[in-house]
Amino acid sequence: MVISRLLVMLNTTADRSRSPLFRRAAVTFAGVAALTGLAGAYTPGLAYAEPTSIARSAVGFSDCPALPTGVDPARWRCEVHTAAPQLTMGKVNVSLAPITMTHAEGPLPDGTNGQVWGAMHSAPTAIPGSLAGTATGEPSRRLRLAIQPEYGGRSDFYTGQLSLRFRLLSPLLPHGCTIGASAPLDFRLKRSGPSQWLSENPPLIKFSAYDDTFTAPAAEHCGPLTGPVNRRLGLPAPSGNVMAYDATYTFRTYDQLPAD
């Protein structure tokens, strides 16, 4: 389930003593929805979206969340980042369509670090190959498959942790067919090089990160095609999975944001 936009994530003293993965160098990850939070609750029935190559553009700061009570707007930043991840998971090997994530971070009244989730936007990406399947009363046919990342309800941008689900789209798959439906995939991103300032005004920073340790569960809620889908995608996949994450992000402090 999507966490509340007003959920404040407090870091422990041990967390704050670590060098932040994304603070200044690569602070934002919103990775990314779907970033609205999640692309809606699961609903029964059939649904299919034709894959597209471009996600919603990270223009403006309209997804910046409300701040916790009592914090200083001048010390809180709304961060918006866009990334095009490379995903290897089981037999899946795709360049995901761009995702856009927004979150806020800054000091809480007690001096600890706080974060508030904003939103994630994404688009489907076609999975190469096809899946043989049938619907009731229909002959066997080859099915197109697409994959779309959605926010999994947990994030910590100070340490590079993010959870995602991956919805699977096809004409004969239920709308709820999802990798990570019961428990989202947990990513712990590590920096793969120094960040690069592309612009000072407005601020625009480029960074790269990766995770090669995450576990990929089986797809669930895919109806009669659950077994064929998992065999086609090589799931579950306990090892050998990699997400390479190249992104850019920008930010503004809340005292610089336009009034609603």
Contact 165, 184 (CB under 8 A): yes
Torsion of CA 214, 133, 223, 236, to 10 degrees: -20
At 29-64, the pLDDT tens digits run 332 222 222 222 222 222 233 333 333 344 479 999
Which letter does DSSP use for residue 222 in this model?
-
Q: What is the pTM of this model?
A: 0.75
At 143-196, the pLDDT tens digits run 789 999 999 999 999 999 999 999 999 998 999 999 999 999 999 999 998 999
Q: In whole angstroms, what is the distance from residue 98 CA to residue 124 CA?
A: 9
Length of the chain: 260
Mean model confidence pLDDT for the chain: 79
At 107-142, the pLDDT tens digits run 999 999 999 999 999 999 999 986 665 544 454 556
> What b/e readout covers 95-104, taking b as 16+ CB neighbours within 10 angstroms?
ebbbbbbbbb
